[in-house]
Structure 1
């Protein structure tokens, strides 16, 4: 009997240490509504945290240090019974090899987040159909976007299968009377984002994502940074192919918004191994002009 109990405990511990793929935090902010009854929001926060962290999104079992660190921050601006409306910020980071540094993968604010939720409701994901309430659909969509971004950073085009699942969720959510999914009259919608990521026209950016992270950042903290900086420099210069088409791209501009601080810091040391920094400077001023004064013009 003791052996059976011991075996059960070992299996239980194993399942705890090898749980699912994400290590997510969730915050629900309802300050705009006022009132003292916060139980529904606490319930929603716990339900979402459990849903994200305990759902098997890819079928893989990972240890904690292998999981993707991410954050979902929801601001509730309106409530009518079980109907909620507000915004959500999605953030995810990627560890850099041999360091404690975490590189930002995505930091996105979605202003069109409306959904229905009943306190203590059991959230279950079904990739084949729209949930009817939009909560599971939006969260699952961004989970797969995060998984895709992360996979693209470790393997060239490695996120395709997860981006495809996000695209399927977007297709299931069309014409369901919820904002944020339309491709017409909704700039920076979820569907526009995922369609651009999947579109072969933007495959060079996805290739850059891989080279930048895996061959560049993951080697940047070697004693000699010259080779890693050259890899990052060359990867970014490949984006020149988009200099006449980037303005209207949600995916491309999101990349630059997320990475501008990091890109600036990589080359701000002044020790750039003979790289022609003026070429990269001119390109970044074209692709991200809003950062010209506070970043690119400061490069030596």
Structure 2
């Protein structure tokens, strides 16, 4: 027995490299059989510079910044949920640098767009299409973009402002997407956005996080999403997408009726709280789609939809009136 043990030991010592390779190969095969898990976003990121006041900064810095933002959004896990590659949320982040303030500090606008696939339609519906005018941040080339929900402000408020803004809109996107698939599905993500607003970086050049800085900013969007006065909005998000758009493949009339019911619910919200940021955000994303949905509906329904939309979304009122 001792001889057999010694022989086995000698055999393993001689072939241990081969054994290790075999074990790793088997482990790799087993891992490949497990369900694939991917990050939540499939974000397309573009950084543009337009006409900078101070053009001394190397253009290469902005290419590096673009790659860093893309990795920040796509390379980290934002939730504990398992997303397959097909479930990743399609979104766009366009950072337009408008001014070089010196000391590696920049002023920019940020356009954020996100979509959701409609069941059996090969069509993407817009969840969010918004522009943030209050983006000021510090970025040193190759400086890692870091963010923690537990310490939003970081060590440098101007550097942290960029990652806080990106994380904020990521949670808003995740919340709207979850709301569209499950009733009140987005609440936890909106609370994470609130946490960022509550603990946001502060400084003389930093804006958009406080209620007194305007009525269309990051503060008001998350406030509306969590405010009980807008509770019916979450019912709208669910019914509009699951009972409306997703149903149209099987029954166009039934799906359109669900969307019409959503307009009635939105009008009830509007009567209580007109001109809110949440209403404006919804119609910026949905205006064109709503026109198409009711373009071929019966005259009475089309007229009612046009009337409600023109009242709630004054910006596009003329377009809605053409539907009648």
TM-score, normalization: structure 1?
0.91
Which residue, out of 238, 242, 250, partners 1:214? 242
1:182 aligns with 2:203: no
Partner of 1:19: 38
Give distance in 1, aligned partners of 2:33 and 2:109: 37
Residue 17 of structure 1, CA deviation? 4.8
Length, aligned pairs only = 296
Partner of 1:2: 21
Conservation of the 8 A alpha-carbon contact between 2:307 and 2:321: no
Which residue, out of 246, 255, 265, partners 1:238? 265
Taking a change above 3 Å as real, the CA distance of residues 40 and 265 of structure 1, as seen in their structure-2 partners, is same
Q: Which of the two has higher C-alpha Rg?
A: 2
Partner of 2:223: 195
Residue 189 of structure 1, CA deviation? 1.4
1:30 aligns with 2:29: no
Is the helix fraction higher in 1 or 2? Answer: 2
Conservation of the 8 A alpha-carbon contact between 1:68 and 1:93: yes
Taking a change above 3 Å as real, the CA distance of residues 3 and 182 of structure 1, as seen in their structure-2 partners, is same
Structure 1: tracts of 5 or more residues without a match: none
Partner of 1:149: 176
Conservation of the 8 A alpha-carbon contact between 2:233 and 2:266: yes
Conservation of the 8 A alpha-carbon contact between 2:42 and 2:90: yes
- Could you list the per-position Cα deviations for residues 132-161 of structure 1 after superposition, in whole angstroms to 9, with x for gaps in the alignment? 221111100010010001001111111000
Conservation of the 8 A alpha-carbon contact between 2:295 and 2:302: no
1:53 aligns with 2:74: yes
Taking a change above 3 Å as real, the CA distance of residues 27 and 11 of structure 1, as seen in their structure-2 partners, is farther
- Could you list the per-position Cα deviations for residues 27-51 of structure 1 after superposition, in whole angstroms to 9, with x for gaps in the alignment? 1101322568221111111111111
Conservation of the 8 A alpha-carbon contact between 1:219 and 1:228: yes
Give distance in 2, aligned partners of 1:68 and 1:86: 24
SS in 2 for 1:243: helix
Which residue, out of 105, 125, 130, partners 2:147? 125
Which residue, out of 28, 32, 43, partners 2:64? 43
Partner of 2:130: 108
Residue 200 of structure 1, CA deviation? 0.7
CA RMSD of aligned residues (A): 2.2
Taking a change above 3 Å as real, the CA distance of residues 76 and 247 of structure 1, as seen in their structure-2 partners, is same
Taking a change above 3 Å as real, the CA distance of residues 73 and 106 of structure 1, as seen in their structure-2 partners, is same
Conservation of the 8 A alpha-carbon contact between 1:26 and 1:72: yes
Conservation of the 8 A alpha-carbon contact between 1:75 and 1:88: yes
Taking a change above 3 Å as real, the CA distance of residues 185 and 31 of structure 1, as seen in their structure-2 partners, is closer
Residue 9 of structure 1, CA deviation? 4.5
- Could you list the per-position Cα deviations for residues 273-299 of structure 1 after superposition, in whole angstroms to 9, with x for gaps in the alignment? x863333222112112332322x2233
Taking a change above 3 Å as real, the CA distance of residues 266 and 171 of structure 1, as seen in their structure-2 partners, is same
1:299 aligns with 2:323: yes
Structure 2: tracts of 5 or more residues without a match: 1-19
Taking a change above 3 Å as real, the CA distance of residues 116 and 35 of structure 1, as seen in their structure-2 partners, is closer
Conservation of the 8 A alpha-carbon contact between 1:22 and 1:70: yes
Taking a change above 3 Å as real, the CA distance of residues 214 and 159 of structure 1, as seen in their structure-2 partners, is same
Give distance in 1, aligned partners of 2:33 and 2:92: 25
Residue 86 of structure 1, CA deviation? 1.0
Conservation of the 8 A alpha-carbon contact between 1:246 and 1:253: no
Residue 205 of structure 1, CA deviation? 1.4
TM-score, normalization: structure 2?
0.85
